[in-house]
Structure 1
């Protein structure tokens, strides 16, 4: 495996993991601006955990969702996927650090280290897929309600938290793909084999006189 590819893949996976940690608590997963006069203009924004509102004077108030079971199904699923994404990314980072050639962990067995690094790449890909599904599903529900002319509630738009999540997913999938494709998980260590000639090698042939003197002897004597 190319050490440069390992380092690049590790950096991409680490950046994706950090951005998941930033996107998860971000409050602006969806935003809505209620325009009125200077007094009544307010902004409403939500994420997976709470709903907040702020007015034109800068006063804001947040309310956490009181019940998990009362939430919409896509919010519950997005929560689970984002938490699973962080878990996959954590184990992926550990596996990538152990499997790198420049790492002393795991000894000198480069076949085993390559397989561990490949496992880390798969975990990075799972992290990216979980994040991508979560933010895309959330964004789909936002756009569905926004373009529905019969939707009676507040219409929201896509917030910055979803864009951070999309960037995180792309980085994690790219890093995991580089790490998985570059490692040679099926190869074995090859050692040089010493060539041994079959039979007995003679340094010189017997002289003609010796061969002539022993020609008539009994082989059993």
Structure 2
């Protein structure tokens, strides 16, 4: 009973972490810069530049936002390509890990015998670890680019 409880708690915690990494893919404000206040009235000439993995946008003081989507994959900087690749790798590995961990838990009836289920669960945990490291490296790369 205790082993099953630990497995379910670990599965829920790791899958929740995978969902949080997936949510960062849709975030708009990855990088924000304030541009303005130079050579005139800051009320007229200030704007905010912000970007994410899929587009660049500019918002001025009248709250008008102009966005430009990245047209093709090879037209963006290598930094954005690296962040995208690491994020997609982390999400893919996390999805495979969630499926393997679900199959390998003791409280499910799929996956075979106890020893086979332990191997499947261990491989799912390894996939979660590698996916988490890819996501952490992506966040570190993003932090290095901003600073």
TM-score, normalisation: structure 2: 0.88
SS of match in other structure, 2:74: coil
> What is the alpha-carbon distance in structure 2 between the residues aligned to residue 70 and residue 63 of structure 1?
12
Alpha-carbon offset, residue 41 of structure 1: 2.3
What is the match of residue 140 of structure 2?
Answer: 136
Residue 62 of structure 2: aligned partner: 57
Q: Per-residue deviation at 1:32? A: 0.8
- Tell me which of 118, 123, 131 is aligned to 2:127: 123
Structure 1 residues 41-98: Cα deviation after superposition (integer angstroms, max 9, x where no partner): 2211111111111122222121112343232222111111111111101111100100
- 3-state SS, counterpart of residue 31 of structure 1: strand
1:27 counterpart = 2:31 = no
Match of 1:95 among 89, 95, 100: 100
1:1-221 equivalences under 5 Å are 2-36=3-37, 37-107=42-112, 109-143=113-147
More helix by share: 2
Distance 1:61 1:7 in 2: 46
Q: Separation in 1 of the partners of 2:104 and 2:73?
A: 39
Larger radius of gyration: 1
Using the TM superposition, give the Cα deviation of residue 119 of structure 1 relative to its aligned residue in structure 2, in angstroms.
0.7
5+ residue gaps, structure 2, are none
The one of the two structures with greater contact order (alpha-carbon pairs below 8 A, sep at least 6) is 1
Distance 1:90 1:38 in 2: 47
Task: For 1:39 and 1:5, locate their aligned partners in 2 and report how far apart those are by CA, in whole Å.
Answer: 58
Q: Output the CA distance in 2 between the equivalents of 1:49 and 1:35.
A: 24
Report the number of matched residues.
142
Unaligned runs of 5+ in 1: 144-221
Q: Normalization by structure 1: what TM-score?
A: 0.60
